[in-house]
Amino acid sequence: MSGPVASRYRPPRWLRNAHLQSALAGSPPRRRRGFAALAATGALTRPVIVDGGDGVRLLGLHSAVPGVEPRGMALLLHGWEGSAESAYACLTAAGFLARGWDVFRLNFRDHGGTHHLNPDIFHSARIDEVVHAARDIAARMPRSRLVVAGHSLGGNFALRVALRAPAAGLALDGVAAVCPVLDPARTMEAMERGLPLYVRHFERSWRRSLVRKRELFPERVQVDDAVLRLRMRALTEWLVLRHTDFGSLDAYFDRYSIAGDRLAGLTVPVSILTSADDPVIPVEGFLRLRLPGHAHLELADWGGHCGFLEDRRLGGYAERWAVSRLAGTD
């Protein structure tokens, strides 16, 4: 790959603020738009527990349009502290369904109200269970094609699934990632240096998640109120030292980093969309990526973090982009 391709995304001037884009991306009006788009497809959705290996259970939502022979299965992965019902997941799902695809929106461990399914806490290095879940989905719901799309941390997971797919015997036809986390250490620094609203949002969401986990598994999750008051970096270090065997925060971040040349060995076709003004994922990391020749990296001047909104109705370029890259434009 010679370098990033300039994106055709051009929002109106009033939507060219990165923080406005990022805040509106997951706003209640946009979630309502996502639910409405899903409903308009006429698809039926059912919850499915899938096997993550080693006793791990993950909950997903399988959607299909009755009477339609599916062209393939799209596995969608949400971001940290998001869920299978996040606005971008619903809107992307609606796009695939409209093109005759089935969709499986997978909740990561401890997301989407699934804290009760597994006693141990979620962390971002739990890639094995997501790969195992993808294999279970492919085996139980075989389709002619299987693709994966993810946003933010979900984009990071999607790209790591692509890296591991050949060795896992998972046949993937393509992966699309929107604003994927590349280097977790740099993302932490960007949140700490940037507007407080981002780190505060994730701190509040994560604290609620840990409290719920403590209520369900008090013998396993011994987190007191003093720990819950820690800031993001210190709270992450507590997680690493108490609930993983990585030994240090740096080792944990390194385990799920996909920066530099870590994606160079990809054999699955991948597409990546990011914005130059993303306040959470520094664009410099994308410019330093070493990608194979078949990879597609698209860089937009605007879009914020997983925004790419186009108008007052909060239509999204990124969701259409992911569907187009993986399912075509027909």
Expressed as residue numbers, the domain containing 18 is 5-182+260-327
- The total number of structural domains that make up the chain: 1
Tens digits of pLDDT across the chain (330 residues): 668 999 999 999 999 999 999 999 999 999 999 999 999 999 999 999 999 999 999 999 999 999 999 999 999 999 999 999 999 999 999 999 999 999 999 999 999 999 999 999 999 999 999 999 999 999 999 999 999 999 999 999 999 999 999 999 999 999 999 999 999 999 999 999 999 999 999 999 999 999 999 999 999 999 999 999 999 999 999 999 999 999 999 999 999 999 999 999 999 999 999 999 999 999 999 999 999 999 999 999 999 999 999 999 998 999 999 999 999 854
Q: What is the CATH number of the domain that holds 300?
A: 3.40.50.1820
Minimal CA–CA distance to 19: which of 305, 316, 256? 305
Residue 121 covered by a domain: yes
Residue 105 covered by a domain: yes
Residue 201 covered by a domain: no
Residue 270 covered by a domain: yes
Instruction: Describe the crossing of helices 184-193 and 249-256 by its angle, rounded to 10 degrees.
Output: 110
Residue 192 covered by a domain: no
Residue 299 covered by a domain: yes
Residues belonging to the active site: 152, 278, 305
Q: pLDDT tens for residues 268-277?
A: 999 999 999 9
The answer, as to whether pTM is greater than 0.85, is yes
Residue 208 covered by a domain: no
